[in-house]
């Protein structure tokens, strides 16, 4: 265990808080440098973004060094268990104060107990902008992935006894054979969850909604079980113990999300659009394919591909890709379905007309700030997330 891990174990960075704290981004990592003990030592703390790696390997977000400024070398006694004394003890204490301040102001507790569960949570936030909701006060460790516009769940993470899951599989197999297992011995408790509190073989699992045709086949595979406490015809339980890969779990979550949203819309549940109110979109523009800056320098209204369900009056924040990598324009959709064209894949598409309302300096809303707002990637038209909306409003207010 390192000194840093003592402070940041079971914590994750809040990236939007790093630069205001004093971190700088060099394209690979965030770095914070500060001197202490009247300049005799320099702390260098780096915060990395999670990397793709082998399932089961924990993320290491924070590394650090303490430099003896006179020698220009790392102060090695800091990490030596045999180095004792008042001086080295004071250096450790001062460095710990720096790490504690970073942890308090730039980090938050991880939502779940185990590494794979937390990796999946980050991937969901990156892909869809959906955070983890802990909606059950009595069971704070249960986390829900919910589509915000439709308010539909598409994933539920909880801690369960693995023996309990094996029992469910055995019960289902016996039922399919027309047999019956002996009654299960249960601990005293008012709900099924009370019988699973902190068992020795506890793991975290994910419930996802799938096509009913797939579920019986998946239940026979390693890491899959009959759904725990949900409709077993439509939902299945996946172990988050590394037995199923992150990539495949994300595929299942994508299907679950699509099915949940589709059912919500078909049943008349709430959607993003409120009659009479415009929607706001993040719209990427590739300068290698179309010079939007030159177009807006000549015209206030230009044609644009209609890649989402736009309506007149909607707002499009136009993000110009590399080398600009920033939102440069706020535009209004003034006309939809204005004309048709055939794209590079041979598909017939509609074009719309957008009017430039505002133009921004390319340093105001760069991708380095946008990426921390839950938008996911810079590819494809997306709804503006609440955090991105807040970033835009705060930034514009600062430059008024």
d(CA 370, CA 148): 19
Place of tokens 């089961």: 56
Q: How far apart are CA 116 and CA 112, in angstroms?
A: 9
pLDDT at 268: 44
Q: What are the pLDDT digits (tens) for 324-375?
A: 999 999 999 999 988 888 876 667 788 999 999 999 999 999 999 998 887 7
Sole residue written with tokens 């064209």: 341
297, 303, 308, 310 alpha-carbon torsion, rounded to 10°: 90
Full 3-state SS string of 105-173 = HHEEECCCCCHHHHHHHHHHHHHHCCCEECCCCCCCCCEEEEECCCCEEEEEEEEEEHHHHHHHHHHHH
CB 203 within 8 A of CB 224: no
| Pairwise CA distance, residues 389 & 369, whole Å | 12
Which parts of the chain register pLDDT below 70? 1, 50-59, 182-200, 263-275, 308, 344-346
Structural domains of the chain, with CATH: 3-109 (no CATH), 115-183+191-266 (3.90.1150.30), 280-398 (3.10.590.10)
Q: Give the residue from 288, 353, 273 showing the smallest Cα distance to 316.
A: 353
């Amino acid at each position: 265990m390192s000194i840093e891990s003592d402070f940041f174990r079971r914590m994750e960075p809040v990236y939007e808080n790093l630069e205001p704290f004093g971190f700088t981004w060099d394209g690979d990592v965030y770095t914070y440098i500060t001197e202490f003990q009247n300049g005799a030592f320099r702390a260098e703390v780096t915060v990395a973004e999670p990397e793709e790696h082998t399932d089961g390997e924990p993320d290491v977000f924070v590394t650090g060094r303490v430099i003896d400024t006179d020698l220009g070398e790392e102060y090695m006694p800091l990490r030596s268990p045999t180095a004792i004394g008042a001086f080295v003890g004071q250096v450790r204490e001062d460095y710990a104060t720096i790490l504690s301040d970073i942890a308090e102001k730039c980090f938050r507790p991880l939502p779940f107990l185990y590494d794979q569960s937390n990796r999946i949570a980050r991937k969901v936030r990156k892909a869809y902008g959906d955070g983890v909701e802990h909606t059950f006060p009595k069971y704070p460790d249960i986390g829900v992935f919910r589509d915000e516009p439709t308010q539909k769940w598409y994933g539920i993470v909880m801690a369960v006894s693995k023996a309990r899951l094996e029992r469910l599989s055995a019960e289902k197999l016996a039922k399919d054979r027309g047999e019956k297992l002996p009654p299960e011995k249960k601990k005293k408790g008012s709900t099924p969850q009370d019988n699973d509190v902190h068992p020795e073989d506890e793991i975290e699992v994910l419930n996802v909604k799938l096509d009913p045709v797939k579920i019986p086949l998946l239940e026979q595979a390693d890491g899959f079980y009959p759904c725990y406490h949900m409709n077993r015809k439509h939902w299945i339980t996946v172990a988050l113990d590394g037995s199923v890969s992150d990539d495949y779990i994300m595929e299942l979550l994508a299907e679950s999300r699509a099915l949940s949203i589709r059912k919500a819309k078909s049943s008349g549940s709430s959607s993003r659009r409120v009659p009479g109110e415009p929607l706001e979109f993040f719209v990427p523009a590739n300068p290698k394919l179309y010079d939007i800056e030159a177009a807006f320098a000549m015209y206030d209204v230009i044609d644009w591909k209609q890649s989402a369900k736009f309506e007149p009056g909607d707002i499009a924040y136009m993000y110009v890709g590399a080398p600009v990598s920033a939102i440069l324009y706020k535009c209004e959709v003034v006309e939809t379905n204005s004309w048709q064209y055939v794209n590079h894949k041979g598909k017939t598409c509609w074009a719309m007309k957008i009017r430039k309302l505002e133009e921004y300096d390319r340093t105001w809303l760069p991708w380095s700030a946008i990426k921390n707002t839950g938008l996911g990637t810079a590819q494809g038209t997306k709804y503006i997330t609440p955090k991105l909306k807040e970033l835009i409003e705060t930034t514009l207010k600062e430059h008024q």
